[in-house]
Structure formats: structure tokens, C-alpha cells
Amino acid sequence: TGGVTTIDAGYKNTGSCESEITFLDGEKGILRYRGYSIEELAEEADFLEVAYLLIFGELPTKEQHDKFHADIKSKSIVDDDVRKIIDAFPKSAHPMGVLSSLTSALTAFNPSSVNVDSEEDMYNSVVKILGKFPVLVAWTMRKKQGLPLDYGSNTLGYVENVLKMMFKQPNEKYVQNKIIVDALDKLLILHADHEQNCSTSTVRIVGSSHAGLFASLSAGISALWGPLHGGANQAVLEMLEAIKEDGGDTKKYMAKAKDKNDPFRLMGFGHRVYKNFDPRARIIKKAADEVLADLGVEDPILEIAKGLEQEALNDDYFVKRKLYPNVDFYSGIIYRAMGIPTDMFTVMFALGRLPGWIAQWREMRLRKEPIGRPRQLYVGETLRPFKKLEKR
Ligand code: SDX
């Protein structure tokens, strides 16, 4: 057993690394990226600034920001053979599986592995993935819709161009909706990093074997896909839809969530770290009200979500276990109001989390962290002799 006497299932009480990137205080509901509060960044910054801050440690100057964006745009072309890979997927494929495969495939088209000790090499890899990933995100959605895969416009901002690549209809003039641009920019900032969550820990441990950046990111996308993690934002909308179909009977779902014999959980509730509130959920809930009002969208699902939150906040089972809405509880309501399909919600989470994954991977490599290899407590069979097949 290598000296191991106890195990820490799910690493609930295990610190895996030192990091300078993101600070969480679960009791006080504090989230900071490189020392800046999430509240200020969500209100004042744009997503590209936050990406630069997370990855390189400082907010960019105007000149750095503009160069960063220009370099990203210059590297945003995806090898046209990637279309053949996308064409091979059935329309029924879940976008997260497609995105994880395409991200891994980027290694085939960009073989240069990252020399993290070369600032220039690292910078080039960063702008390459930040340029190509939004294209893969948009093409994943467009393929399912049977719409042409294109690159939007080089004249647009980063988030504006993501939306154009996703939503421009053939033969129609595309009109930017500033409400949607600003809402998506804020959502991506709120998802950009979150210290050692499941998918980030996955990116780190894959990268700790010195596997490439794109391969590590592909693994992170797969981990995020799970409904206990990023996949929860899709599961929340499916749950709220089911409650709506049930005539808004939230009590039935609260009972299911508390029934130990029922695997059902109140999706979008609970968090490993936040035990009073998730600061991101507060900001997103407020944004949901504002965006739907600005868009003139009446969505009964929002009222059902608020009703469910109120019930849970007054229910002993949830209060005792310190279960509150997390980042995934309200985000899908905004994505839906933007016209993003439900099965693309977790892809939008990945788009937001990308700079955090990159930042954490870079820090892990720069700090020369050892390969991740935990031990175990062996509880299996003791030694036993092999019997040949004819004697068994
Ligand atoms: C994200 O780590 C991160 O930072 C993640 C994230 C990020 O930005 O990267 O914040 C993003 O993944 C948010 C979480 C999204 N997942 C969901 O909303 C799925 C529903 N939530 C749960 O499955 C759960 O709350 C987790 C996964 C979020 C946290 O799980 P833990 O910390 O392992 O807690 P647990 O499963 O041990 O639960 C403790 C107790 C248990 O009851 P008891 O056995 O003690 O009686 O609380 C219960 C659980 O049954 N519980 C729930 C519940 N969440 C926990 N009961 C009903 N509904 C829930 N949602």
C-alpha cells in the first residue's frame, strides 16, 4: 500500500498543487482571478482581457489586448480536413463528444508540441487554440443544424464573432444583438476558471505526463461533459422542462431529490466548495432577469427555477447539507433565450473554461509538477495459484 493508510474519495480533503491563478473562499462565497474579484471582472472586463489575465497573470495593456486579439484572429483558420472529421459524425452525436474529438484532432494538424519554457512557443499555442476553439464550437452546432460552416468576420470582437459563426443564416444579413453579445461575454468570464475542479484537475493530470496541450484540453472537455459537472447546465433545463410538463409540480422533484432510493438530484444545486452561495449563480440569476427582460422573452422556466430555489432554501434537507444554486442553475435559461440549443450548453461552458484550463496547464508545466500518480488501499484477493482452463 506504499504507506497509504486512508483514502480521500473524490479528493474532498486533498490539495493537489499550489496555484497563483484562482482563489475561492467557499464559506464567504469569494471568487477571484489573479486577485481581481469576479464581480468586478464580470461587470467591467471583456472575456479576452480575462483570458489574458488568467493565462499570463496580468491584465493586458490596450496594446497587448489588441495584439492578442489580432494574433488570435490570425491563427483561427482550421485545417479544412477537419470538416471531413465533422462530416463523419451522425447528427445525433452529442456536441461535447464531437468537440472533445475535434480538439484532440487539432494535434494532428498542429503537431508542434509546446515548449513551455519558450514564452514565444507558449504564446503561439495559446493564440492558436483560442482562435480555433470557437470555430470548432460553432461548426459543431452548425453541423447538427445542417448549416454551412464558415468563419464569421475578422472585423468583429471575439465574442461577437463566436455568435456570428453560430447564428448567421445563409442569404440573410446578420445583425449583432448587443444584449446577447454582452450577456455571453459575461457568462464566459464567469465560467473562465475555478481552481482545481474535476475538468481542470483532468487537464492538469493529463498534462503532467507531458502529453500535449490540445490532448490535455480534449480530456478536460470529456470530464466537463458529465452531468455532475459542466453537463449539469443541460440537465438543469431538462429537469425544469420536466417540472413544467408536470404542471410545475416542484414538490414532486424536491421529494425525489431527497429520496435516498432515487438517484435523481436537484441539478444545478450543491457544490464541493461553496457552502453558502455560489457568487457566480448570484450574478447569473440577476443577468437572467435583465437579459430576458431586454430581449422581451417571457420564459416560464425562469419562474419555475426561482420557485425551486425558494423551496430548497426553506427545506431542511437542503439547508442542512448546505445545498444552494451553483453556476449551472440559471445559466441555461440565458443560453436558451439566446437561441442556443440545450445540448450546446455544456459546450458554451467549455468555451468559457478554455482560458482557465490553459492557464492551469501552463502553470503546472512551468512549475515542473511531477506526473500525477496517486496510490490506493488494496482490498482485493490475496495470492492464489493459477489453475489451467481444463481444471477450472
Ligand atoms: C460544477 O468543482 C467545481 O468548482 C465545479 C464547477 C466549476 O466551475 O468547475 O463549479 C462547476 O460542476 C458545478 C456543479 C454542477 N453539478 C450539479 O449541479 C449536479 C448536482 N450537484 C451534485 O451532484 C453535487 O452537489 C456536486 C457534484 C456538485 C458536489 O458533490 P459532493 O461535494 O461530492 O457532495 P455529495 O455528493 O457528497 O453530497 C453531499 C450530500 C449527500 O447527501 P448525504 O449522503 O450526506 O445524505 O448532499 C446530497 C448528497 O446526496 N446532495 C444532493 C445534491 N447535491 C448533494 N441532494 C440532492 N440534490 C443535489 N443536487
pLDDT tens digits, 284-338:
999 999 999 999 999 999 999 999 999 999 999 999 999 999 999 999 999 999 9
Distance CA 309, CA 306 (A): 5
Is residue 30 pLDDT above 90, yes or no?
yes
Residue-wise burial string across 213-235, b where 16 or more C-beta atoms lie within 10 A, e elsewhere = bbbbbbbbbbbbbebebbbbbbb
Question: Is 267 near ligand 1, meaning CB less than 6 Å away?
Answer: yes
> Which residue is listed with cell 442542512?
320
- Listed residue (192, 194, 191) closest to 233, CA to CA: 191
Average pLDDT over residues 198-211: 97
Confidence of residue 3 (pLDDT cuts 50, 70, 90): confident
Q: What is the DSSP string of 92-115?
A: TS-HHHHHHHHHHHHHHH------
Greater pLDDT, 116 or 16: 16
How far, in Å, is the centroid of ligand 1 from the Cα of 356?
A: 21
In whole angstroms, how far apart are CA 338 and each of 31, 107, 268, 281, 390?
26, 32, 20, 18, 65
How far, in Å, is the centroid of ligand 1 from the Cα of 267?
A: 8
Question: Is 254 near ligand 1, meaning CB less than 6 Å away?
Answer: no
Average pLDDT of the residues of the chain: 96
pTM: 0.97
Average pLDDT over residues 140-162: 96
Question: Is 270 near ligand 1, meaning CB less than 6 Å away?
Answer: yes
3 state SS of 19 = coil
pLDDT value of residue 1: 59
| Lookup: cell for 320 | 442542512
For residues 215 and 222, the answer to whether their CB atoms sit within 8 Å is no
Confidence of residue 228 (pLDDT cuts 50, 70, 90): very high
Determine the atom of ligand 1 nearest the C-alpha atom of 194: 8
CB neighbours (10 Å) of residue 300?
A: 10
Question: Is 330 near ligand 1, meaning CB less than 6 Å away?
Answer: no
Q: Which of 191, 271, 278, 343 is catalytic?
A: 271
Is residue 283 pLDDT above 80, yes or no?
yes
Is residue 112 pLDDT above 80, yes or no?
no
Is residue 215 pLDDT above 80, yes or no?
yes
Confidence of residue 113 (pLDDT cuts 50, 70, 90): confident
How far, in Å, is the centroid of ligand 1 from the Cα of 59?
A: 33
Q: How far apart are the first and last CA of the chain?
A: 31
Pocket test for ligand 1, best of 196, 233, 272, 282 (most atoms within 8 A of CB): 272
CB neighbours (10 Å) of residue 181?
A: 19
Residue 33 host element (H or E): strand 30-33
Q: Which of 185, 278, 328, 343 is catalytic?
A: 328
> Which residue is listed with cell 417571457?
298
Alpha helices in the chain, H assignment, sequence order: 38-44, 47-56, 62-74, 82-88, 95-109, 119-145, 158-167, 178-190, 198-207, 213-225, 232-245, 250-258, 279-295, 300-313, 316-320, 327-337, 345-366
How far, in Å, is the centroid of ligand 1 from the Cα of 236?
A: 13
Is residue 342 pLDDT above 90, yes or no?
yes
Strand-pairing partners, residue 23, are 32
User: How large is the angle between the packed helices 119-145 and 213-225, nearest 10 degrees?
Assistant: 40
Question: Is 326 near ligand 1, meaning CB less than 6 Å away?
Answer: yes
3 state SS of 50 = helix
Distance CA 362, CA 56 (A): 9
Pocket test for ligand 1, best of 193, 252, 258, 269 (most atoms within 8 A of CB): 269
Residue 31 per-residue DSSP state: E
- Which tens digit of pLDDT belongs to each residue from 54-89? 999 999 999 999 999 999 999 999 999 999 999 999
pLDDT value of residue 172: 93
The contacts of residue 50 (CB under 8 Å, 6+ apart) are 33, 41, 189, 192, 355
CB neighbours (10 Å) of residue 2?
A: 8
How far, in Å, is the centroid of ligand 1 from the Cα of 388?
A: 47
Range scoring the smallest mean pLDDT among 58-67, 103-112, 273-282: 103-112
- Listed residue (280, 263, 262) closest to 271, CA to CA: 280
